[in-house]
Structure 1
Amino acid sequence: HFHNDYGMASANTVEAVLAGADEAHVTVMGVGDRNGIADLYEVVAVLEDIHGIDLGVDRSKLNSLYSYFSKVAGLRLPWRHPLSEEARTIRAGVHQSMAVEKPEGYMPEKKLRHDVENPVFEIGVYASHKLIAYLTGLPPTDPKARSTTEALARKAREKNGRLSISDIKEVLKDELGIEVDNNRLSRFFGGEKVYILAKLNPRFDPAKIYETLISWDDVESVDEVYGDADLVVVGRMRLSSQNLVERFRDIFAEAIDDLKVLVAD
């Protein structure tokens, strides 16, 4: 039962198990007194992937478990955590090149198998021309792949370093004259961060709507508030007809008196 005073609770727990400990205490996200104890994922994954010790935990369920627990507990999964959104987001061009050619050369093969359905990419000033070639179907040696990547980098500098999916679509259309399929864009780049502010009809209980929303994988957090809105929902809006915003509108149509949607730039 190690505490995380120096950020070593999970590592110490792994070493204790390897040394023969019969019982080890872990929690989801390492939640515990003060700054917590050993983290369930960090112990289970290391023992299984590196040391070949299977503790019988279904790894395929851990992503959804951590996401759900994070929302229920009101604790954002830290960016450094191995299951965070940031942990599967690749920004550096050299890493993007590796990930499109041979993902297991950059991320551990067992992690890709168990924990990361597919990496997502962020287009900024250091984007890879090989990623853009793969996205658009161009050969990596085609000069248009490089010139388009350079155009994306220029746009990223104008936008303080990061491009939205809408920005990427615009540049690809201007440079190559093509419309990339929305599903393909969503698979590569995830979705836009979106804030939904909902004012509800008093006949409807916000708590029941809250319970439904926290079960959705594309919802990051839900807060009940007072004032001009009753619920503030933060999530990822993918480019599809059943994205988070449209689903919210469809399912809770009768309960919504007013809805405001803010998309992060």
Structure 2
Amino acid sequence: MTGVAIIAAIPHSAHARGVAVPAAASVLPTDLSVWGMFVQADWVVKLVMIGLLIASLITWTVLVAKHLELGRQRQSAAEFRDRLMATRSLAELDATAAAHPLVAEAREEIGQSAGALDDREGLKERLVSRLDRYEARTARRMTKGVTILGTIGATAPFVGLFGTVWGIMNSFIGIAEEQTTNLAVVAPGIAEALLATALGLVAAIPAVVIYNHFARSIAAHRAVIADSAAALLRIVSRDLSRGTLPQGEA
């Protein structure tokens, strides 16, 4: 009889302490998956999450597109550099090499310097200036689409943090409205808020890594262009020293 009395007293004591297990359980969301937390999140937090997902999509799109573009340009630039290094005179360049924009820049400057070819140092300075500008233009063209990765990497964590702060603020407002400190009331909102921070890191970390990868690739490609420009200057210098600069260039 004593054991029955104790068992019968347990629900009564629970209610006496104010423990409402079914009520607390009803507060918990039915779906605590990532998608469920997204659906149940505040509209501001949803916008933050959607923006971060779009930023992540842009990052991977730039990775694929820029990797293919730089891969083709690197191979072509390396072949052109090797061809110039093996050439003794402008007259020996084949049609493909002669049509390269770098050679076109040199030919244009030589043409504009007609009548002043005896001033070899002046011609070399003008060629260096023109080829440097070509290198800078090429570098700017290669960085198109890459700078956005730096922006995403720098801002995505703060955007995610904004979503987290907003979500936690709503959770504290819920505490005040419910007049309870029950963790079950605020835990789902805090989880949704922290999901925004996680998405911010998911968008930022790959963007920073990919940006640094492309920065190194572009620097290496620019070095190849600089080597090609130096090789072309040596070819022009040899032609000037021999007096065999093609008359058609002047």
Same fold per TM (> 0.5)? no
Per residue, is there more helix in 1 or in 2? Answer: 2
- TM-score tier after normalising by the smaller chain length: under 0.3
TM-score, normalised relative to structure 2: 0.18
Per residue, is there more strand in 1 or in 2? Answer: 1
TM-score, normalised relative to structure 1: 0.17
Q: 1 or 2 for the larger relative contact order (CA 8 Å, sep ≥6)?
A: 2
